[in-house]
Structure formats: structure tokens, C-alpha cells
Amino acid sequence: MDEVQRLVRRQAGVVSRRQALSLGMSEVQVARLVRRREWVPLHGGVYVDHTGPPSRRQREWAALLLHPGSVLAGRAAMSGAGMETSTRLGDPVELALPHGRAPRRRPGITVMQLRGFDAMALVDQSPPRLRVEHAALLLASTAFREDEAVAVLADVVRKGTTTPSRLAAALDLHPKLPRRALLREVLADVAEGAQSPLERRYLRDVERAHGLPRGERQVREVARVVDGEVLRWVVRDVRYRGQRMLMELDGRLGHSAALDRWDDLQRDLDAAVNGDLTLRSGWAQVLYACRLAAVVGRVLRARGWTGTPVPCRSAGCVVRLEDAA
């Protein structure tokens, strides 16, 4: 029983009949615990050690034990890799199994079959889960909107959980993955330093589409030094080094609180002291990409850029209209 109790604790309070019997318990002992309501059935032959509603983690363990050899997929796998997710208690538990295994459907559980399962799964983890690269790619491929797909891949790179090159290598193992071409394009942009949907939109729709000079991205640099001591480091979203200009891209989240605004103001003041001009844009500006490109182009030219913005494919591109004028 000591071994069984340790296993139950390791599995968040969940255990299967098969596991209990393999550790030396008898059918009579299992039946006694169930009769006393010390073990409560969640599925056939899978129990939890209390009578209240199961937690999300307990539902995940119960699904894994119901399907031996499976691993967590989707947001559960991302959470296991240390990523914050928006998984809710009632969301289905997502599992992955080797290709060719098609278990009977169960309410609250979704199962995918994967070719090359052994290379994608971490079966020795507790709980077992897909590697973060494969979990992120599969999650991004089913995202409702393109920006949501970008956010999934950008987040795992920004937080240091994986790298664009490892994601690209993992993508090679999914030749039939939906949105595969888009994901490949997104990974190239993430590798270039676009670490959020907004930053990718700026790179693609403003800078690249209008022939602006390619800025350096995610530049970590000293912002303030006092008496030879570095007091402040910052990471610049985009730096146009030759023109001493910065573009800071503020997404809808994370830049609305008063303290965030003060921090943004301090960053801009530090940049001005060092001779840099800061432009700050959000979604409201980046979604009007042509107009923003025209503004950025004028500022860059005023600060020494010898090129000119080019019109994008849009018939109503502001850059084209300015050229005509």
C-alpha cells in the first residue's frame, strides 16, 4: 500500500486498477476502497482519492490512465513545459497516441494520432506529454486566427522554452500539418526577432512591404550609466541604428497600466538623452500599415536614410498616393 500511496500522490490523487494490481494489491482490496468511497471512479478502472469534483490536473491524469501509452497534447502539454495557458477546468483533455491506435471516444477527451510519435513524446515525464515544439506547432495550426498562431510560437521562443530552429526541425516531422506554409513563414519572422503578433505585423506589413530599411530587433542595451555603474538595461523592439531611431511596439496587453506607462516614458527619455528618437506604435497604427510606413519613412529620411518607401500591393497605399502628389 505504501507504493500505491506514493504513486497516487505522484499522479495528483489518481490511480488505475491496473496500476494497483501491478503493485501487489488484490481485487478485493481495490473493491473495498471503492466501496468505502476512498477511491471514486472517474472512468472504468480509473479512480480519484476524494469525493469532490476532480481538478484539471486530475482529469488529465485520468485520461492518460484510461489510454495507456498516451501523452498530453495541446495546452496541457504546453503547461507541462512551463508555459502559461488559458486552459479552463471544463475544456477537453487533449491526448496524443501513436498512429494506428484509435480508442473509443469519451466525453471530455480528444485524442490525436501522430506518425513519428516516439520522437515527439516525452513518455518518461510526469505527466507524460508532447515535446513543447510539437505541442506548440499543433496548437498554432488549429488557432482560430493567424495572430493567435503567431502568439503561440512567439511566446515559446520569447520565454526561452525552445528556439526557432528547433521548431523548424519539428515542423519537418509534420508534412501534412494544416497551415504548414504559414507556420514556416511565422518561424522565419520569429527567428528575425518578431516576438509577438504585433511585432510580426510591423515587420511584414510596414517595414518589409514598403521597402523600409531592416531594423535590428530585440536589441538589449544599456539605457543609463551613473558614475560608471550600469543602472538600467532595456530591450528595444526595433532599432534603426544608422538613423538613431527606435520603434517601440506596444500591444493591447501589458502597456495599459500606469506603472507600464511610466516605464515606457522613462525608456523614451533615456533614449532621448542618448540622442535617439523614439516612435511608439500600437495596433491602431500598425493595422493602418501604409499610413504608418509613410510616417516612418519620412522620419528615417529626415535622419539620414537615403532610400524611399515603396508602395505595397494595396491599390490605396498611402505611399503610392504621396508619390503621385
| Same domain for 180 and 158 | yes
Domain assignment present for 61: no
| Same domain for 312 and 212 | yes
pLDDT tens figures, 140-178:
998 888 888 888 999 899 889 999 999 999 999 999 999
Q: What is the pLDDT of residue 254?
A: 41
Q: How far is CA 37 from the centre of its chain?
A: 40
| Same domain for 220 and 124 | no
| Same domain for 289 and 206 | yes
Is residue 258's pLDDT more than 70? no
| Same domain for 103 and 87 | yes
Q: What is the pLDDT of residue 89?
A: 67
Q: What is the pLDDT of residue 15?
A: 97
* Integer angstrom CA distances of residue 60 from 46, 119, 237: 12, 22, 38
Q: What is the pLDDT of residue 296?
A: 96
Backbone angles phi and psi of 121, in degrees to 5? -105, 145
| Same domain for 227 and 163 | no
Last residue of a domain, one of 162, 191, 220: 191
| Same domain for 187 and 284 | no
Last residue of a domain, one of 191, 221, 241: 191
Distance CA 15, CA 11 (A): 7
pLDDT tens figures, 26-37:
999 999 999 999
| Same domain for 181 and 142 | yes
Domain assignment present for 159: yes
Domain assignment present for 270: yes
| Same domain for 171 and 207 | no
pLDDT tens figures, 61-88:
999 999 999 999 999 999 888 887 776 6
Q: What is the pLDDT of residue 1?
A: 76
| Same domain for 45 and 13 | yes
* Integer angstrom CA distances of residue 25 from 8, 13, 31, 46, 65: 13, 17, 10, 15, 17
Domain assignment present for 169: yes
| Same domain for 148 and 211 | no
Domain assignment present for 57: no
pLDDT tens figures, 173-216:
999 999 899 999 999 999 998 888 899 999 999 999 999 999 99
Domain assignment present for 161: yes
Domain assignment present for 305: yes
Provide the pLDDT confidence category of residue 256 given band limits of 50, 70 and 90. very low
Distance CA 91, CA 84 (A): 15
Last residue of a domain, one of 164, 191, 218: 191
Backbone angles phi and psi of 109, in degrees to 5? -135, 130
For residues 78 and 60, is the Cβ–Cβ distance under 8 A? no
| Same domain for 94 and 42 | no
Is residue 242's pLDDT more than 90? yes
The count of structural domains within the chain is 3
Query: Of all residues in the chain, what percent carry a pLDDT higher than 70?
Result: 91
Domain residues for the domain of 254 are 197-324
Domain assignment present for 313: yes
